[in-house]
Amino acid sequence: MTLDRRSFVKFVVGGVIGIHFSPLVWKLMDDTAIWTQNWNWVPVPEDGALAFASTVNPSTGTVLQARVIQGRMQGERLIRLEGATASPLGEGLIPADASALQLLYNHETRVQQPMLRNRQTGVFTRLSWEDALKLLAERLGKLAEGGQAHRVACLAGASGDVTSEILGRFMTAYGSPNLAFLPTAQQTLALAGKRLFGEENLGFDLANSDYVVSFGTPLLEGWGSPVAVRAAFAKWREEGKTTLVQVDTRASVTASQADKWLACKPGTEGLLALAMAHAIVAAGKSAVSAGGLADAKFAPEAVAEHTGVDAATIKEVALALAASNSGVAICGPGPEGGPGAMQDFLAVLALNAVAGKLGKPGGLVARKALPLAPLGAAVPTPTQPALAAGDHDPYTLTVNALRAKPYSLAALILAGGNPVFNGPQAVLVERLARKTPFVVALTPYLDESAAVADLVLPAAHFLECWGDVPTPFGCATGFYGLHRPLINGEPLAKATGDIFLTLAKAMGGQMAQALPQQSVFEALKTRAAGLGSFEELAQNKGFWAEDKPSYGGAANVNLAGLDWREPAALAHGHGHGLIMQAIPSLRTTWGRDPITPYMIKILTDATLAHKDQLVVEINPETAKEMHLAEGSRVELMGAHGGVNATVHLFAGAQPGMVFVPVGLGHTALGEFIGGKGDNFNRAVNVESDPLSGLPNWSLTRVSLRNIGGVSHV
């Protein structure tokens, strides 16, 4: 028999078909899999019964339930994180980004032990904790002995927790006035509430509202406590009794889910709130003395052109809010997650007062202050002038340090929050770190802050250490939660607070007196003494919460004497050329943790295009004027830096604006997180808010340059 070409092809095709239909191949594969699992050198995780333990996510205030293996609550076997059904802010649900947090806990870029970097070569040398703290204590001690303690600065994440109090006491006792936390809307709301009502702890009773007017807040994209907000929204839709009105410059997720979208011009949200208040006053329905809100310059007809919203719609929404039984107007962190403009907050709070929504179910309520005790007696304030006026202005501190105004820095401590990536001062902090002789980074990851540090100390992930979580922004009821060590991921990682407590003991003197606690756990017991048994709080639910909001009258409303600016000045984003604004998302993050690889994987092409290019949204009319098309490659430049991106034409974007996703653009953190898109914070411009004194970067004027090329979106 001769084997010709035809016979050979028939033989091969028949063999392939026969193999696929034969059970022999699949049986061999199954047996091989079983055989390899029985190799004695293959590690097999210890099995056991399931166990559950509660903790609180410090980024959102959501109570999480960790599913672990029984007997390994101090071991390695975290299975997954779930929502805790007993939580008033969770109700059994969990934000999307938190569900993938174990990817970061086990991430390849975790800092495993202290490291010292050689600035000449960039090479890290591993140190023991004893040597690392000795080195740090000696460097700080020499500066203090030479009268240079004020030339040490510390940049940290958000304030309000026990770690921030430890940092504050440490820096003050050391003799430096230069501590700056990342500013948030918590500070702005507290300042506005104190000015109008004498109340600093305000919240919005969304769960009981029947008419909600949201002024530029990303309500469904991570605002406040995301799960609690989503639960309230689900209740609104299920019962069908609540109307949601979104004032927004973009057809955002919240705007698309709202019953009515008021597409305003950039920076006019506060002006719209004043116009609505004027409409209520003019209709004779004001619940309080109107003050300057009766001025004709705030009439809907007068501001319609400034805002882009017609007068009839302004009046309709205003009177509907006033007529509602349990309505509320809300403000808060904008899409960029910053503190926002205080004038806007004042305007929205004043609208609530005029509409009669203070202290009522579904309205604006004042919470009782949490009964938290200080960690010790007050520490004397340093005598040297500070680089910034307050402790929530890292931008001014960084700018003045770079200018040596009035002095330069000898040492810089980056205590969490990754300030080289997060916040409005990201580009400048990197420059400052490279200019400062000695930089220390306390971080769980080899992130952007670690990349510019001389000494890197491994900070623990919140699943590995003790800490606390005060009431999240906008919550109507008081809340205090604890996160605690559930798993032992990196054996040498320490809580940031524990690092500073140990350092204070090593330096002795006033430092040790200011921080007598031996650990964060002991500091928490001191701080939470007013909440009852700490053991019950720590070992039982892991949180304390009020049962219901504190309703009451509005006896202290003071709208008189407010210097309301002219409408053109209030519309601070209008008329400034191309305005950049952030696009928030539940999949990305504003918080202390970077975006997880899983969240990057599920981002749409409208956020991250092929080859990991950042996608920005521009209105087709604006794109036509600038000779741009779908997929055009552009560069957006702010005062200190910029980003490269691909253009996506979006009719839901306000003309004259460009919208940029946040949370992307890491230059560190490995191949699965780094190099994905570009960092919004590198292009922002920062202004000091004239009323609050806080930095504000909600709207940024940028120049746009077509850099050539077209990408598929």
Residues 475-498 have pLDDT tens digits of 999 999 999 888 777 889 999 999
Which structure tokens are listed for 23?
């059970």
- Angle value at C-alpha 35, between 31 and 37, nearest 5 degrees: 120
Q: Specify the CATH number of the domain 185-366.
A: 3.40.228.10
Its pTM stands at: 0.90
CA distance 232 to 216: 18
Can you give the pLDDT at residue 108?
A: 83
Sign, CA dihedral 168-174-179-181, equals negative
Contact 173, 379 (CB under 8 A): yes
The CA radius of gyration of the chain, in Å to the nearest whole number, is 28
Can you give the pLDDT at residue 56?
A: 83
Q: Residue 304: what residue type?
A: A
What secondary structure letter does DSSP report for 295? -
Contact 600, 676 (CB under 8 A): yes
CA distance 698 to 333: 9
Which of 20-29, 397-406, 418-427, 588-597 has the largest mean confidence?
397-406
Residue 539: count other Cβ atoms within 10 Å of its Cβ.
13
Q: Domain 117-183+379-545, what fold?
A: Rossmann fold (3.40.50)
pLDDT > 60? residue 573: no
Contact 704, 696 (CB under 8 A): no
Could you give the C-alpha distances from 388 to 170, 174, 403, 659, 685, in angstroms and in order?
18, 18, 13, 30, 18
Can you give the pLDDT at residue 670?
A: 86
Burial (CB count within 10 angstroms: exposed 0-12, middle 13-18, buried 19+), residue 610: exposed
CA distance 695 to 291: 28
Closest CA to 514 of 676, 379, 662, 346: 379
Q: Please give, one letter per residue, the 3-state secondary structure of 68-121.
A: EECCCCCCCCEEEEEECCCCCCCCCCCCCCHHHCHHHHCCCCECCCCEEECCCC
pLDDT > 60? residue 341: yes
Residue corresponding to tokens 């230069």: 178
Q: What is the mean pLDDT of residues 499-528?
A: 94
Q: What is the mean pLDDT of residues 343-358?
A: 94
Residue corresponding to tokens 């806990």: 105
Which structure tokens are listed for 89?
């802010």
Q: What is the mean pLDDT of residues 612-629?
A: 93
Q: Residue 317: what residue type?
A: V
Closest CA to 429 of 410, 444, 448: 448
Can you give the pLDDT at residue 153?
A: 97
Residue 416: left if φ>0, alpha if ψ -120 to 50, beta else—which one?
A: left
Q: Please give, one letter per residue, the 3-state secondary structure of 437-457.
A: CEEEEEECECCHHHHCCCEEE
Could you give the C-alpha distances from 155 to 159, 188, 342, 414, in angstroms and in order?
11, 19, 23, 5
Can you give the pLDDT at residue 91?
A: 63
Beta 642-649 vs 613-618: how paired, if at all?
parallel
CA distance 485 to 462: 7
pLDDT > 70? residue 50: no
Can you give the pLDDT at residue 122?
A: 86
Q: Residues in the chain, how many?
A: 713
pLDDT > 60? residue 207: yes
Can you give the pLDDT at residue 575?
A: 44
What's the chain's average pLDDT? 87
pLDDT > 90? residue 713: no
Can you give the pLDDT at residue 70?
A: 58
Helix (H) / strand (E) containing 413: strand 411-415
Going through 165-279 in order, the beta strands assigned E by DSSP cover 179-181, 202-204, 211-215, 243-248, 260-263
CA distance 454 to 438: 6
Can you give the pLDDT at residue 46?
A: 61
pLDDT > 70? residue 1: no
Helix (H) / strand (E) containing 490: none
Candidate from 435-439, 532-536, 591-595 with smallest mean pLDDT: 591-595
Contact 33, 567 (CB under 8 A): no
Can you give the pLDDT at residue 34?
A: 80
pLDDT > 60? residue 75: no
CA distance 459 to 442: 6
Kindly indicate the confidence band of residue 596, based on its pLDDT and cuts at 50, 70 and 90: confident
Which structure tokens are listed for 600?
């990057």
DSSP codes joined into one string, 576-636 = SSSEEEEE--SSS-SSSSPPPHHHHHT--TTTEEGGGEEEEEE-HHHHHHTT--TTEEEEE
Q: Which CATH architecture does the domain made up of 568-710 adopt?
A: Beta Barrel (2.40)
Can you give the pLDDT at residue 48?
A: 64
Can you give the pLDDT at residue 574?
A: 45
Q: What is the mean pLDDT of residues 528-551?
A: 85
